[in-house]
Amino acid sequence: MNALYLVALLPPEPLFSQTWALKQEVHDLTGSRNSVRLPPHITLIPPLRQPDGFEAACTAALDEFAATQPQFSIGLDGFAWFGNRTLFVRVSAAERLQAFHAALMGWCTIHLPEVRPENRPFTPHLTLATRDLPPAQVPALRAEFEARSFVGTFVVPNITLYRHDGQHWQPRGTFALPEGVE
């Protein structure tokens, strides 16, 4: 059977721990298991099923790509929802991230054609909970997070390839971006 992969960027400390605590809180409030199955991240390439040989090709392609991309800053600002299914932290000032994602997708077109372009626009966000939120609990959760603020900025030091092992997402490779923030 083909394995499930995704590519993401993770916020460094202290934002990693702060956003992980938010995911844990949503899990505790709602029982959402999806909120704690993957560390806080911004998805660059959504989950895709591929045969085993994909991992080696993807690792090589991501390593080469990352070497061409300088580190850059991202802002996080507040909470928002996609419908009633997904609670997330908003990414602010996302122009550089949008350009990075476009460059990654262009790189994949040439070096990793198994990665197909999305048929919806790239909307960078850091998911706190999705899909398994109990509908009856969404109004209270929405009110709880509308009353809060969250702001942070971080430099993106790397991107990570994950593979799903049937239970959890496991990091399979981390690819450093050269220092020199844009």
**54, part of any domain:** yes
pLDDT, position 135: 92
Contact 67, 48 (CB under 8 A): no
Whether the per-residue pLDDT at 179 is higher than 70: the answer is yes
pLDDT tens digits for 102-156?
Answer: 999 999 999 999 998 888 889 999 999 988 899 999 999 999 999 999 999 999 9
pLDDT tens digits for 86-96?
Answer: 999 999 978 99
**181, part of any domain:** no
**128, part of any domain:** yes
Q: Which two tokens stand for residue 24?
A: 């844990």
SS3 category, 101:
helix
Contact 31, 23 (CB under 8 A): no
How far is residue 52's CA from residue 1's CA, in Å, rounded to a whole number? 9
Whether the per-residue pLDDT at 180 is higher than 80: the answer is no
Confidence of residue 58 (pLDDT cuts 50, 70, 90): very high
Whether the per-residue pLDDT at 182 is higher than 60: the answer is no
Confidence of residue 181 (pLDDT cuts 50, 70, 90): low
**60, part of any domain:** yes
Residue 98 CB-density burial (10 A; 0-12 exposed, 13-18 middle, 19+ buried): middle
How far is residue 153's CA from residue 156's CA, in Å, rounded to a whole number? 10
Q: Which two tokens stand for residue 119?
A: 């048929």
Whether the per-residue pLDDT at 85 is higher than 90: the answer is no
The kind and range of the H/E element at 109 are: helix 95-111
Q: How many independent structural domains does the chain possess?
A: 1
**182, part of any domain:** no
Please tell me the pTM assigned to this model. 0.92
Identify the domain containing residue 131 by its residue range: 3-176
**18, part of any domain:** yes
Residue type at position 75? G
CATH code of 57's domain:
3.90.1140.10
**133, part of any domain:** yes
